[in-house]
Chain A
Amino acid sequence: MPTVRFLLTGDTSLSVEFGNEISEEINAQIRAFVIALEKSDIPGLIELVPTYRACMVHYDPGVITYAALTKRLAGVLDRLDSIVIPPSDVLEIPVLYGGEEMGPDLAFVAAHAGLSEQEVVNIHTATEYLIYMLGFTPGFTYLGGMSERIAAPRLPQPRVRIPAGSVGIAGKQTGVYPIDSPGGWQLIGRTPVKMYDPNRETPILPKAGQYIRFRAVDRAEYDEIAAAAEKGEYVCRIYPRDKEAAK
C-alpha cells in the first residue's frame, strides 16, 4: 500500500487516505481496512468514518497517542492483503416507479433518454449500485454505477419538500431521499422502506461498502410493504453479492 497517507485532522482523529480518485478499487480497500480495524485489538478507537477515498479514525488520545496509533494502523495496512474479506452485501430496495404521486419525473427522464418509461425502470433496476459513502443527511447514500443512458439534468427549480423515500436521478447520480427535504433531483419513484428511522434499533439501513439494488413493485405490494414498515416489521432482503454473476 505505497500510496496510503496518515493526515492530521486535529488531536482526536486522523484521516487514512488511500488515494485521490473515486474508484471501486480504492473503496474496496477502505472497506477491507474498516473490517480489519473492527476485528483488531487496537485500544482507544471510538468511531470510523469511511468516505470515497479515505477513512477517518476517531480515537481517545488518553488511551493511545497519535504516534502509537499510526504505528498500529501501519501494521494493519501491511497485513491488509492477507485478510479474508467477505463479499459485499446487496441491500434490495423495493420501489414503486412512475405516477404523479410517487415518480412525477419518470416521464421526463424517459423522454430525455429517448426511451420508454419501462425501459428506464429496467435499466435502473438492472444495476447493483456501490454505496461509496453516506453523508449530507442521516442515511443519504452516495451511489456509483448508474447507466449514463438514464442520466438527466436536475430540475430547473428545486422542490421545496420531497417526501422521504423518494428515488431520484440528478446528472449521473441516483439515490434515495432518507428524510423529507428540499431538493432538485428528478423523482422517478418511491420506496416504502424507511432508509432512516431514529427510533429503530438499526437507525440507518444502508452501510458504506454495501451495494443497493432497486426492485420494481406494484401499488399493492408497495402498500403491503408500507404497512409492515410502519409497524417496524418489514425487513429488506440482503444477500451476498456474487461478483461473477454481477459481471
Chain B
Amino acid sequence: MSVTVQNSGLLTSVQDGGRIGYQQFGVSVSGVMDPRAMKVANILVGNEENEAVLECTMLGPQLHFDADNVIAITGGDLGPTLDHQPVENYAAFVVRAGQTLRFTALRSGCRAYIAFAGGLDVPLVMGSRSTYMKAGIGGVEGRKLQKDDVIGFRAPNPDVCNLAQRRVAPEVVPQREFTVRVLLGPQDDLFTDGGIRTFLSETYTVTNEFDRMGCRMDGPVIEHKNGGDIISDGIAFGAIQVPGAGKPIIMLADRQTTGGYTKIANVITVDYPIIGQLKGGDRVRFVETSIEAAQGELLAERAALQKLKTALGPARKREKKLFGLFGRKKEA
C-alpha cells in the first residue's frame, strides 16, 4: 500500500499544516507554502484539512502506485498525467495499482499539492509530518524525496463517496502580476515616510533566489530611517523583511524562527496562496489593508472551506447507518 518514487522532480517533499509549538525552541514551522491548496486537496479526498500531502515544485515527480487509492492535485498546474493521459487539477480521482502519475509541464503557479485519501504513512516528529530539511527531520528521513523512495498509505480509501462531485474550479491560474495585501508592522516605524510610500506604490520582481525559506525581490530601494538591523525578534509566515540594502524578502515556511532585520509588513493569511505560488520573474505590488478586514477575510475563507466539506459529505460510508442496521437486526 504505497507509492514508489521513480523520479523525484525538482523538489518534492512531504508537508502538512506545519510544526506548531516549537518556535520558542528555534524549530522552524515548515509546512506547505500554499496552505489553501493543501486544504482544498485534502477536503476533496475526504481528509482532515491539514493532513500531510506531497508538495511538488515546478517539475513534479513520477510516482508509481502499487495499491488503489483516491488522490487530488491542487495548486499550480504542473501538467499531471496518469499513464500518459491528462488528469484534471482540483478534482479527486481513483488511481489503480500499477498506474503511474507524471507531471509534464509547468502551466501555472509554482507548486502542486497531491493529497492521498487516508494520508501518508510517515512518522510524526514533534507533532508534524512536515519535512524540515535544514534540521533533517520529518517527511521521508528529513529530506526531499529521491528516486526509489517508497511512501506508504496510512488508510487508503479507493471508494471515496460522492467522487464525481469532488471537484472545484482551479484556483491557481496562469498569471505573472499580482497584488498582495499586507498589514504594516512590526517595524514600519523604522522606515521613512518615503520608504513606506515606495514599498506600497512600486512593483517588485521575484528574483531567482526564492526557496522554501524566503523569496528575495528586486525593485526600488525602501528607505530606512536608521539602517535595517534590529535586536532579533520572532518572524511570522509572510513577514516582509527589509535588510539594510532596502530590497524586500518575503519569509516563508522554512524561515528561521527569529531574525535581526527590520520587517516592514506582513502578508495577510488569505493571500498566502499568492506568495506560495510565486516564481522568478513574477511581479508583485503590495497594498495595505486593516487587521479587521484581514481577519474578516480569513474567517470567510474558513467558512467557505467548511461549506465545501459539508457539501461533499463524508468520504467513508456513515458508521451510524451500520449501527442502525445491526440495531434493527438485534431487535428482530
A interface, CB within 8 angstroms of B:
7-13, 15, 17, 20-22, 46-54, 56, 58, 61-62, 65-67, 133-140, 142, 178-179, 198-199, 203-204, 207-208
Whether A49 pairs with B234 at a CB distance below 8 angstroms is: yes
| A24 CB to nearest B CB, Å | 14
Whether A10 pairs with B269 at a CB distance below 8 angstroms is: yes
Whether A8 pairs with B302 at a CB distance below 8 angstroms is: no
Whether A10 pairs with B238 at a CB distance below 8 angstroms is: yes
Task: Tell me the chain B residues, 167-208 only, with Cβ under 8 Å from chain A.
Answer: 183-187
Supplied contacts A49-B234, A134-B257, A204-B26, 19 more A-B pairs, CB within 8 Å: A8-B186, A9-B234, A10-B237, A11-B183, A11-B268, A11-B295, A12-B236, A15-B233, A47-B24, A61-B298, A133-B232, A135-B26, A137-B134, A138-B25, A140-B26, A178-B26, A198-B126, A198-B137, A204-B22
Decide: A136 near B258, CB < 8 A? Known: A50-B24, A203-B22: yes
| A127 CB to nearest B CB, Å | 22
Dominant SS among interface residues on chain A: loop
Give the distance in Å from the alpha carbon of A8 to the alpha carbon of B215 in the complex. Answer: 21
What residues of A have a CB within 8 angstroms of the CB of B267 in the complex? 10
Decide: A47 near B20, CB < 8 A? Known: A15-B186, A133-B232, A198-B137: yes
| B54 CB to nearest A CB, Å | 21
Dominant SS among interface residues on chain B: mixed
Give the distance in Å from the alpha carbon of A30 to the alpha carbon of B292 in the complex. Answer: 27
Which 5 pairs of residues, A with B, have the shortest CB-CB distance? A56-B234, A8-B185, A10-B266, A135-B258, A7-B186
What residues of A have a CB within 8 angstroms of the CB of B257 in the complex? 49, 134-135
Whether B291 pairs with A11 at a CB distance below 8 angstroms is: yes
Whether A8 pairs with B25 at a CB distance below 8 angstroms is: no
| A100 CB to nearest B CB, Å | 27
Tell me which of B24, B134, B257, B263 has the highest count of chain A C-beta atoms within 10 A of its own C-beta.
Answer: B24
Give the distance in Å from the alpha carbon of A7 to the alpha carbon of B266 in the complex. Answer: 11
What residues of B have a CB within 8 angstroms of the CB of A179 in the complex? 135-136
Whether B134 pairs with A203 at a CB distance below 8 angstroms is: no
What residues of B have a CB within 8 angstroms of the CB of A142 in the complex? 232
Task: Tell me the chain B residues, 213-268 only, with Cβ under 8 Å from chain A.
Answer: 231-234, 236-239, 256-259, 263, 266-268
Task: Tell me the chain B residues, 278-332 only, with Cβ under 8 Å from chain A.
Answer: 291-292, 294-295, 298-299, 302
Number of A-B contacts (CB under 8 A): 137
What residues of A have a CB within 8 angstroms of the CB of B187 in the complex? 7
Whether B258 pairs with A133 at a CB distance below 8 angstroms is: yes
Please list 27 pairs of residues, one from A and one from B, whose beta carbons are closer than 8 Å in the complex, sorted by A's number.
A9-B185, A9-B186, A9-B236, A11-B295, A12-B269, A15-B185, A17-B233, A21-B231, A47-B21, A49-B23, A49-B234, A51-B258, A54-B234, A56-B233, A58-B236, A61-B295, A61-B298, A61-B299, A133-B258, A134-B24, A134-B25, A134-B26, A135-B232, A135-B256, A137-B134, A179-B135, A199-B125
Give the distance in Å from the alpha carbon of A239 to the alpha carbon of B134 in the complex. Answer: 33
Whether B20 pairs with A9 at a CB distance below 8 angstroms is: no
What residues of B have a CB within 8 angstroms of the CB of A139 in the complex? 25-26
Whether B186 pairs with A11 at a CB distance below 8 angstroms is: no
What residues of A have a CB within 8 angstroms of the CB of B234 in the complex? 9, 13, 15, 49, 51, 54, 56
Give the distance in Å from the alpha carbon of A45 to the alpha carbon of B288 in the complex. Answer: 26
Give the distance in Å from the alpha carbon of A15 to the alpha carbon of B23 in the complex. Answer: 14
What residues of A have a CB within 8 angstroms of the CB of B5 in the complex? none
What residues of A have a CB within 8 angstroms of the CB of B263 in the complex? 9
Beta-carbon nearest neighbor of A205 in chain B:
B25
What residues of B have a CB within 8 angstroms of the CB of A51 in the complex? 231-234, 258
**Contact digits for B1-30, partner A, Cβ 8 Å, 1 yes 0 no:** 000000000000000000011111111000
What residues of B have a CB within 8 angstroms of the CB of A53 in the complex? 231, 233
Beta-carbon nearest neighbor of B28 in chain A:
A138
Beta-carbon nearest neighbor of A206 in chain B:
B25
What residues of B have a CB within 8 angstroms of the CB of A66 in the complex? 291-292, 295
What residues of B have a CB within 8 angstroms of the CB of A49 in the complex? 23-24, 234, 257-258
Beta-carbon nearest neighbor of B24 in chain A:
A49
What residues of A have a CB within 8 angstroms of the CB of B23 in the complex? 47, 49, 56, 58
Give the distance in Å from the alpha carbon of A62 to the alpha carbon of B298 in the complex. Answer: 8
Whether A137 pairs with B186 at a CB distance below 8 angstroms is: no
| A186 CB to nearest B CB, Å | 22
Whether B135 pairs with A46 at a CB distance below 8 angstroms is: no
Whether A137 pairs with B299 at a CB distance below 8 angstroms is: no
Whether B231 pairs with A22 at a CB distance below 8 angstroms is: yes
| A50 CB to nearest B CB, Å | 6
The listed residue (B21, B183, B258, B299) touching A8 by CB distance below 8 A is B183
Whether B294 pairs with A11 at a CB distance below 8 angstroms is: yes
| A34 CB to nearest B CB, Å | 9
Give the distance in Å from the alpha carbon of A135 to the alpha carbon of B259 in the complex. Answer: 8
Beta-carbon nearest neighbor of A140 in chain B:
B26
What residues of A have a CB within 8 angstroms of the CB of B238 in the complex? 10
Decide: A10 near B232, CB < 8 A? Known: A135-B26, A136-B256, A138-B25: no
